Amino acid sequence: MSTATTDSPKSAGWSIDLRVLGPILALLALVALGMFLNPNFLSYANITNVLARSAFIGIVAVGMTFVITAGGLDLSVGSMAAFIAGLMILVMNALIPVMGAGVGIILVGMLVAIVAGLIAGAINGLLVAKIGIEAFIVTLGTMGIYRSLVTWLADGGTLSLDFAMREIYRPVYYGGIMGISWPIIVFAVIAILGEIVMRHTAFGRHCAAIGSNETVARYSSVNVARVRTLTFIGLGLLVGIAVIMYVPRLGSASASTGVLWELEAIAAVIIGGTMLKGGFGRIWGTVVGVLILSLIGNILNLTDMVSPYLNGAIQGVIIILAVVLQRKRSNSR
Amino acid sequence: MTAPVLALRNVTKSFGPIEILHGVNFDLRPGEVHALIGENGAGKSTTMKILSGYLDATTGTVELDGQLARFANSDAAEAAGIVMIHQEFNLAEHLSVEQNVFLGREIRRGLLLDHKTMQKRTAELLARLDCRVSPTARVSTISVPDKQMVEIAKALSRKVRVLIMDEPTAVLTESETEVLFEQINRLRVEGCAILYTSHKLGEVKRIADRVTVLRDGSVVASGPIDEFTEDTMATAMVGRELSDLFPPKRRGGGEVVLEAADIHVPGHVSHASLTLRRGEILGIGGLIGAGRTELVEAIAGLRPRTGRVTLFGKELPAASVAEATRRGLVYLTEDRKGAGLLLEKGMRENLTLPMLSAFGRPLISRRKEEEALTRAIQDFQIRAGGRGIAVGNMSGGNQQKLLLAKTMLPDPQIVIIDEPTRGIDIGTKQQIYDLIHRLASEGRSIIVISSEMPELIGLADRVLVMHAGRVSGEVSGEDVNERAIVRLAMGLGEGSKETAA
């Protein structure tokens, strides 16, 4: 049911798995629709805009793919991003009198973001893997904590990066090489590394084994707690990197920074064909999932046939559709 | 003699290509306690499940009151008054006792539940059973014997004509067993037919009116209890000839490679010790639940333990599977599907999982993995539809061979195999026995846990027998025979014949 053989009887062994091609076909269909609706769709400006905006969610979603593949879930990434952004801005502003506005402060700020991401990920990971609390509960808790912390740091308002600093930091989001902006480059590099780690290293294989059957993994001398914790730490690191790209875009952080990032990241992972219950994950699928989600928003903005306010509704339909397709595979087994 | 209320006529049952029951005839009469005994895997559970509508017979018929009966499911059987109490309880842990007793048959007053009546009835039933739990207590908070009583109360709450009990006393203390026996006696007087299985032959002798012995899916003996003694029952259960299923035995006489002293696993094993020599096959026998698996899992680092394990002269720390594997000790689980193999994954992923670092770092070499799989398919004679097939779609025998291949991948010196042939056809069994011998003759040391007597006797030079979490004795050489092992497994002393279990 899930596979369709090609017409030629000679290539009977060659079967096409719709689950593999499904997300790609959906992406191609969206591109075709975009081209049809608006000739500007394929313009350089629009494409780079879509890709650059996808990069934050995309970077986070790569890490989320590992967490979900290993049977976990992380609801805290959006709040975590907001908190790290706030922390980063506070530290950088505080250092201006000491170090003077310059690249040095930005490097310190980046270090803060990465260390904070690692620590936040480690807290989630250790609570889940060592203490044994369900990932949903742990990250629901930390989600509330980080969101509340950033609101408190900003005193209910907005934390703004010093204006002099913004000018120096700006190129990290708006600059790039050969017309490709940094967020796109970083996203691409992380996606490629992620795909290699997932498919070709012991770590990736262990994640899939744990998500597939934790007991089997344990009996096969896989260090389950360590691998689990590492998936959360890796996700925290990637959230830190996403924040480094995100802060120069607006130069500020508030209680509404990163809202719903976690849901978009999880949705991208699921649309890409990774199983929510764990055991199977693919990074390229996640990348396709991220692109599908941003293209929907982009197309709605470019046409006036459907109100952009319905963006969420259409994304919701796509997510549910993706899961329905996933389920058919397990039924037909 | 009264006519049977429930009977099996020439019943066979096959799972896939394997026939489990071969032409079983069985009568259950009103007002009798009929004990069904046999070794693990003899077909007792299958027989009970066919009687109670959980399974259909492949051929042959089930008769209720002399009429052909075909139960669509267990609910249909229950509606006809046939209730089975499972060994693993069928209770909703988070509901109260009273809610469980009336689950699915709640008493209503109008639209609302009649809690008062249900509580009162539950209290009456429990009082009949001398059980002191409150009807409103949550099932998850009550003790295991109390859960057994709740199951019985649940059965009593409906009009029960046939009560089928799968090892009801396995979880009960002696005094609780007495209460259960009083209940069984009362039900018997009321004309209820009771089918009862137990490994405790002393109990069978006391409570049963008739006995039927199953062996390898066939009835080998059946008759009034007076015609049997505990010893004749045991002999009937295990008394089969050892075929040439097993290669000739070999003596392992090398140096001690593994020594476990005073192992304690909370709740399962206490004061257990064993030694293993190079090239030896050591058997561990005992009933299910005697702590055999827990003991070896503790040795292999899969369970927390106290006590000392010495591997090749050096102490092995507790709770580290990876360390044990690295130092040459591996464990092959009895739970092939739950703990052994990733059923959704292919053979390659399963084979290399414990040893991925040996296939390239940081990147795994797919080519090396495929080579290892080719070798494993040859060495272990794995027959699967194709290399990419999901392991869950392979036959039990081939799964077991793959699991063996996976376990042997680190080239271990000590191999612990738990139930090497569970759910496997006879041909594959023989291959696995040969393989175990080959491993031993290569100088490796093997521990085999088995609930199948012939397997233990056919394979092991020396057999350690466990009973209730302790090592109850050891037999070796000429003394490795079924009688000696069964007696030790039942907790009977080696010498004293008259002691009840």
Here the tokens at position B459 are 């394979």
Q: Does B84 fall in a domain?
A: yes
Q: Structural domain tally of chain B? A: 3
Work out the minimum CA distance from B312 to partner chain A, whole angstroms: 20
| Long-range contacts of B301-304, Cβ-Cβ distance < 8 Å, separation of 24 or more | B302/A218, B302/A219, B302/B331, B303/B265, B304/B265, B304/B266
Work out the minimum CA distance from B310 to partner chain A, whole angstroms: 20
Sequence-distant (6+) residues with CB within 8 A of B501 are: B200, B201, B202, B203, B230, B490, B491, B492
Q: Does B474 fall in a domain?
A: yes
Size of interface A-B (CB pairs under 8 A): 64
* Residue in this structure with the two tokens 């399974």, named with its chain if needed: B55
Chunk chain B into consecutive blocks of 10 residues (it has 501) and report each block's average pLDDT, rounded to whole numbers: 84 80 90 86 84 87 87 83 81 86 82 86 85 85 80 83 85 76 86 86 88 88 89 74 63 83 90 91 86 92 91 89 91 88 91 88 89 90 81 82 91 91 71 88 91 84 90 86 84 50 36
Same domain, B357 and B323: no
Res A18: pLDDT: 62
Same domain, B387 and B265: no
Same domain, B451 and B496: yes
Quote the radius of gyration of chain B (alpha carbons, Å).
25
| Alpha-carbon distance values, B129 to A14, A227, B91, B96, B149 (Å) | 65, 51, 18, 18, 7
Work out the minimum CA distance from B15 to partner chain A, whole angstroms: 19
Res B368: pLDDT: 92
Work out the minimum CA distance from B209 to partner chain A, whole angstroms: 44
Q: Please give the Cα distance from B269 to B464 (Å, whole number).
A: 14
Domain residue ranges of chain A, discontinuous segments joined by +:
53-262+275-281
Q: Please give the Cα distance from B344 to B364 (Å, whole number).
A: 20
| Contact residues, chain A to chain B, C-beta under 8 Å | 196, 200-202, 205-206, 208-209, 212-213, 215-223, 279-280, 333
Contact A223 B322 (CB under 8 A): yes
Contact B354 A221 (CB under 8 A): yes
For A202, which of B321, B357, B390 is closest by C-beta distance? B357
The CATH number of the domain holding residue B35 is 3.40.50.300
The residues pairing with B6 across neighbouring beta strands, listed in sequence order, are B28, B64
Helix axes A202-212, A44-69, angle to 10 degrees: 60
**pLDDT per residue rounded down to tens, chain A (333 residues):** 333 333 333 333 344 566 677 788 888 888 888 888 888 888 888 888 889 889 999 999 999 999 999 999 999 999 999 999 999 999 999 998 888 878 899 999 999 999 999 999 999 999 999 998 999 999 999 999 999 999 999 988 899 998 888 888 888 888 888 888 899 999 999 999 999 999 999 999 999 999 999 999 999 989 999 999 999 999 999 999 999 999 998 889 988 898 889 999 999 999 998 888 888 999 999 999 999 999 888 888 887 777 878 888 888 888 888 778 766 554 443
Q: Tell me if residue B187 falls in helix, strand or coil.
A: helix
Same domain, B29 and B152: yes
Res B402: pLDDT: 92
- Asked whether the beta carbons of B164 and B195 are under 8 A apart, the reply is yes
Contact A201 B362 (CB under 8 A): yes
Helix axes A283-302, A18-37, angle to 10 degrees: 20
| Alpha-carbon distance values, B452 to B38, B238, B467 (Å) | 11, 9, 15
Q: Please give the Cα distance from A150 to B70 (Å, whole number).
A: 67
- Asked whether the beta carbons of A120 and A80 are under 8 A apart, the reply is yes
Query: Is it true that the peptide bond before B224 is cis, omega within 30 degrees of 0?
Result: no
| Consecutive H or E run containing B263 | strand B256-265
Same domain, B54 and B138: yes
Q: Which residues of B371-389 are buried (b: 16+ CB within 10 A; e: fewer)?
A: ebbeebbeebebebeeeee
Same domain, B447 and B488: yes
Same domain, B401 and B464: no
B321 part of contact set with chain A, CB < 8 Å: yes
**Residues of chain A with C-beta less than 8 angstroms from the C-beta of B335:** 215
Same domain, B156 and B254: no
Q: Tell me if residue B265 falls in helix, strand or coil.
A: strand
Res A16: pLDDT: 53
ipTM above 0.90, yes or no: no
Res A331: pLDDT: 42
Closest CA to A117 of A152, A151, A79: A79
Q: Which domain holds residue B390?
A: 342-410
> Among the three residues B187, B205, B238, which one is the final residue of a domain in this structure?
B238
Tally of CB atoms within 10 A around B261: 13
Q: Does B337 fall in a domain?
A: no
Work out the minimum CA distance from B357 to partner chain A, whole angstroms: 7
- Asked whether the beta carbons of B279 and B253 are under 8 A apart, the reply is yes
Same domain, B193 and B313: no
Same domain, B173 and B254: no
Res B1: pLDDT: 58
Same domain, B170 and B188: yes
Contact A202 B361 (CB under 8 A): yes
For A215, which of B331, B338, B356 is closest by C-beta distance? B338
B64 part of contact set with chain A, CB < 8 Å: no
Taking only residues 378 to 417 of chain B, the set having a beta carbon closer than 8 angstroms to any beta carbon of chain A reads 390, 406
Q: Does B448 fall in a domain?
A: yes
Same domain, B290 and B366: no
Res A242: pLDDT: 95
Q: Does B61 fall in a domain?
A: yes
> Among the three residues B191, B217, B238, which one is the final residue of a domain in this structure?
B238
> Among the three residues B386, B410, B434, which one is the final residue of a domain in this structure?
B410
Q: Does B335 fall in a domain?
A: no
Q: Does B334 fall in a domain?
A: no
Res B177: pLDDT: 81
- Asked whether the beta carbons of B453 and B483 are under 8 A apart, the reply is no
